Every structure is written in C-alpha cells, then in structure tokens.
C-alpha cells in the first residue's frame, strides 16, 4: 500500500538514545501494534496518533494536532482489521485508483464499528469507493472524530479522563497517561525509524507522514538527541513524506484537508 519510504543513515549515539532494542518488544499486528505493557490490546493507527498528539502539560489534544488525519487513519484501520478490502488498481496515466469494499466483517473495536457504519451508511451500501471518498465521507460524520478512539483508550486504562467545568459552564475533559508505557514505546519505535538506517514499515511510515502534517513528527525524539541528529531526523521525515506522495491514504488526507467534494 503506497510505499516508497526512503532510508536515511543514523548514528550509533542516536541508536543508543532511542533504545532500538525496545523495538524487539513489539510485533506487527492485524490492527495496530502490540503494546509493551502485558495484557494490553493492540492500538489502532488512530489511537497512536492521538497518544502522540496529547499535550501532557494541558491534558488536551495539542493545538498543533491536525484532527483531519483521524478519518484517514480510521479507514486504514478498517483495512487492517479486514472490515474493508483494499484493491490497488491503476486508473491510467500511472495514477493509482485504490478502492475499498466492505468485506462483510464486523470489527470489535467500537470506534471501528462506528466508522464502518458511517462509511457504509449503516450497512446499506456495500459498493466500492475510493480511499479518498471513504475518508472524506467519514470526516463529515461524528465517527471520524477523536471521541470513539479516546473513549476506548480510557476504557482500556491507557488514558485517564477527568471531567470538569470551566467557569462553571463549559464542559472540559482533562486527559492523562494512566499507563505511560504505550506512548513511551511508541515514541521509541518511531524515533528509531527517524535516526537509523532501516526504513520504517508501511504502517509506521504512514504514521510518521501523518504526524509530520501536524508538525509533531520531531516530538517523538527524546530530549537528549543532539541538534545534528534532529536535523537529520527532519530530513528523514521530509523524505518519507516525499516518498509517500502517491500513497492512497496520504492522498486521502490532502483531499480531506482541502474539503474535497467528490463522491
């Protein structure tokens, strides 16, 4: 799916700083990645984005976080979960015509179930549509927002949520990392992808590209990383974005961002 992610050389110091060995504690999963904490389920791509977008100082999703990545991530999660089948074809002139078709599967994750219902109009539309059309439609519904993914992260004990009223009137929710290990391991894995020779997998490449559009990719690096390595990581992120320009999910993100009006 997509591809074209390019490797950039890293340094031994950078490898040690991000703890490449931690990557061995993770495994590829059908939906997301295995979390280092024992007994915790795998994370959705949308959930990983939200964990990285959380501003731990304010207890809210960062103002820099671009929520328009979420419907795109949820469509990818539906593909990874087997609820949508991705058919990578060619439309002509070398342009990909990637379409998704409901497979008939029912995802267990509440956020994915809601997203699938939105994309298929509550199961009444079993036809194919482009990845872009699915993401744009989802972006126009409540199922394409952060609510479902955040609620499940809270239910699973990854995040804590405390409701309060600002000025006694406006409802607010303060989020905390109830279990900090998933976010810590996630940052370690992505930091290693930015400073070492090995190219990231397709899913991590997409995650980093979507993060870069929120200007959050560099935030995965630990504070002890030196300025030179940070510059190298920034170049790496730029190369990843360039190499993923034709990825159907990256193209869908730009369509969502521009308010694409197609069907």
The percent helix, strand, coil of the chain (3-state, each to 5) is: 45, 15, 40
Mean pLDDT by 10 residues, the chain (263 residues): 39 40 29 43 92 89 92 96 85 65 93 96 91 95 94 93 72 86 91 84 90 84 87 86 87 90 52
Q: How far is CA 141 from CA 68, 78, 135, 216, in A?
A: 12, 16, 10, 25
Give residue for tokens 């190298």.
232
Q: What is the pLDDT of residue 213?
A: 83
Quote the longest CA-to-CA distance of the chain: 58
Q: What is the pLDDT of residue 41?
A: 73
Closest CA to 143 of 78, 210, 66: 78
Give domain limits for the chain.
12-258
Closest CA to 184 of 71, 40, 80, 77: 40
Judge if pTM exceeds 0.85.
Answer: no
Q: What is the pLDDT of residue 28?
A: 34
Q: What is the pLDDT of residue 163?
A: 78
Q: How far is CA 213 from CA 32, 44, 113, 166, in A?
A: 20, 19, 26, 30
| Domain 12-258 in CATH 1.10.3630.10 | yes
């Amino acid at each position: 799916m997509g591809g074209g992610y390019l490797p950039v050389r890293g340094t031994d110091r950078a490898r040690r700083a991000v703890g490449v060995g931690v990557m061995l504690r993770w495994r590829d999963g059908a939906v997301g990645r295995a979390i280092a904490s024992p007994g915790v389920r795998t994370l959705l791509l949308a959930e990983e984005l939200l964990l990285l977008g959380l501003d731990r100082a304010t207890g809210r999703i960062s103002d820099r976080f671009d929520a328009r990545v979420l419907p795109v991530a949820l469509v990818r999660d539906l593909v990874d979960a087997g609820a949508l089948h991705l058919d990578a074809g060619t439309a002509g002139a070398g342009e990909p015509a990637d379409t998704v078709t409901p497979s008939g599967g029912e995802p267990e994750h509440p956020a994915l179930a809601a997203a699938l219902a939105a994309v298929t109009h509550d199961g009444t539309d079993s036809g194919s549509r482009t990845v872009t059309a699915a993401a744009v439609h989802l972006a126009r519904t409540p199922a394409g927002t952060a609510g479902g993914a955040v609620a499940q992260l809270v239910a699973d004990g990854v995040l804590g949520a405390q409701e309060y009223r600002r000025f006694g009137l406006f409802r607010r929710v303060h989020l905390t990392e109830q279990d900090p290990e998933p976010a810590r391991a996630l940052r370690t894995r992505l930091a290693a992808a930015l400073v070492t020779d090995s190219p990231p997998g397709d899913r991590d490449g997409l995650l980093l590209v979507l993060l870069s559009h929120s200007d959050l990719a560099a935030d995965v690096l630990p504070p002890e990383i030196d300025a030179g390595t940070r510059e190298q990581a920034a170049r790496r992120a730029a190369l990843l974005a360039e190499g993923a320009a034709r990825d159907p999910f990256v193209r869908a993100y730009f369509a969502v961002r521009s308010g694409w009006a197609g069907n």
